[in-house]
Amino acid sequence: MKRVNNPFIILAALALAAAFTSAGSRGATVDVSAAENVKPALPTIPSRTFALADFGAVGDGRTLNTDAFKKAIAAVDQAGGGKLIVPKGIFRTLSFALCSNLDLHLDEGAVIQAPDTFEGFGLPDPSTLHSQDEVKARVVTPSPLITGGNLHDVAITGTGTIDGNGALWWAWSERAARAQPGRLVYRRPHLVVISRCQRLHVADITLTNSSMFHLVPRDITDLTIERVKVRAPFDAPNTDAIDPGPVTNALIRDCDIDTGDDDIVIKSGGTNVLIENCTIKHGHGISIGSGTTVGIHNMLVRHCTFDGTDNGIRIKSMRGAGGPVENVRYTDIQMKNVANAIVLDLNYVDNNRPDFKGDPGKIPSIHNILIDNVSIENSKNAGKIVGLPESPITGIALRNVQITAEKNFEIKDANQLTFDSVTLSITPGAASRTP
């Protein structure tokens, strides 16, 4: 059932094996056919087109185009919908809201860009303030650069870029304050947030350098995200790439992500979610949580690659923000040089909220998870499966999995676990090797 190649950890591996059922015993029962066959409805957008330049926009990287975007979108809305074309150029803007029946289309070379100074947001420079109370009194966090709520039939398409100019914000983040005690914190805006929308399609664009999360589709029914590229430095704090949730009927495919936090993460909840053919580089991997209050049901992740990622497969939750995570499969996954390969953790601690209590009735659970046909090379840690005493993790199966790592699994408060055709090679120095 299991092969361990390092003789110095044979005893540890045998102890680990005692936590698992045999291959023929009860394991996870996972049916993700609803996710495998999910086909979210695409938006219906009228064929009429509108040109941003007709509304006074200037793409010189200096002129503020907020009014031009607002006027153009108002015209689209009044006409009953259509495609708004953003041409080549750098269009500096503050926040603007989308309307229903809209395709915001960025041509090749088009950049929608946030200001690069706090003054550009109408905010005081943090270095001029003297206390966090003064920040609270004087600083209002800007809205997301692109936003919208209570919508239907929305698309953001084209090969252009949406740029958050986030570097000025990262220097005043919670992480910066932890590294420099006493440093002030500015709450940071997200880049694109679409809430309560039926039929949302995001395709082909590049999202880069958000001050915090890049793309946040909340409360979406029928979501398609495809061929999207997301870029932020590996050490940029909390720069999640794609954060859907809650979401019903979601397809995320062919995306290329390299950021400083969760690459793709389902938050709060999701039903019938398919993630496939994505390339994941730096960041915290493909995750669920930490909030799982609505619950995650029927999710399939397949044909994805990870290289240099902090985490690969990751489900995280905690007391006070939990709900059920069940019926999830990860299959045909390739990882190399990841720090933590497989993480199922119900005792997660949010560094930005270390004293979080939440609702004591919201206890997370994880059960019926299948991880199969996975290759993991040169990982620092094989991972962890850590439940809670009152909510053990149950029904987890690893099948046809090959792992080379420096450290073995950590397992606690978990049962009904199955290792079937798993090769686990615990090798000192594995994480520093080049495959």
Give the separation between CA 135 and CA 188, rounded to whole angstroms: 13
Q: Are 263 and 309 in contact (CB under 8 A)?
A: yes
Q: Are 94 and 115 in contact (CB under 8 A)?
A: yes
CA 68, 69, 75, 78 dihedral sign is negative
- What residues does each domain of the chain span? 1-30+284-435, 52-233
Q: Do 52-233 and 1-30+284-435 have the same topology in CATH?
A: yes
CA 338, 228, 304, 247 dihedral sign is positive
CA 348, 171, 206, 121 dihedral sign is positive
- Tens digits of pLDDT across the chain (435 residues): 344 443 333 323 433 443 444 333 445 679 999 999 999 999 999 999 999 999 999 999 999 999 999 999 999 999 999 999 999 999 999 999 999 999 999 999 999 999 999 999 999 999 999 999 999 999 999 999 999 999 999 999 999 999 999 999 999 999 999 999 999 999 999 999 999 999 999 999 999 999 999 999 999 999 999 999 999 999 999 999 999 999 999 999 999 999 999 999 999 999 999 999 999 999 999 999 999 999 999 999 999 999 999 999 999 999 999 999 999 999 999 999 999 999 999 999 887 777 888 898 999 999 999 999 999 999 999 999 999 999 999 999 999 999 999 999 999 999 999 999 999 999 888 776 554
Q: Are 30 and 302 in contact (CB under 8 A)?
A: no
Give the separation between CA 285 and CA 337, rounded to whole angstroms: 12
Strand-pair category, 340-345 with 311-316: parallel
Q: Is this model's pTM higher than 0.85 or not?
A: yes
Give the separation between CA 250 and CA 100, rounded to whole angstroms: 19
DSSP string, 147-168: EEEEEEEEEEEES-EEE--THH
Domain 1-30+284-435 has CATH 3.40.50.300: no
Give the residue from 80, 79, 63, 69 showing the smallest Cα distance to 104: 69
Q: 10 Å Cβ neighbour count for 29?
A: 11
Strand-pair partners of 360? none
Tell me which fold the domain 52-233 belongs to. Answer: Pectate Lyase C-like (2.160.20)
